[in-house]
Amino acid sequence: MTTLNERVLIVAGHAWQCLACRSKLLADPDGVLTQQGLSPEERQLLSQIEPGAWATVTSLAEALGVARCDLEEAMRHPRSRLRHF
């Protein structure tokens, strides 16, 4: 597993929880991710996640290369719950 910036996990966690924001991310990843304060590498990682990886927290964590518990922790962060794109 890799260590990702908390912002990446917060963005991914919010997109997993919020269908409207996930749809925006899948439709226009560059447009959405440019506004999130992420590095080019972080934006590339998030933009390359296949739509099927968003089906479960486990599959999303695997696509990100992080432990499920780390992603779940980020999903509980207030910014993750309230951070619409």
User: What does the domain layout of the chain look like in residue ranges?
Assistant: 6-82
Torsion of CA 41, 20, 13, 56, to 10 degrees: -110
User: Residue 27: how many CA atoms within 13 Å on its side-chain side?
Assistant: 7
pLDDT tens-digit readout, 32-58: 999 888 999 999 999 999 999 999 999
Please give the single-letter amino acid code of residue 65.
G
64, with CB counted inside 10 A (0-12, 13-18, 19+), is buried
pLDDT tens-digit readout, 69-80: 999 999 998 888
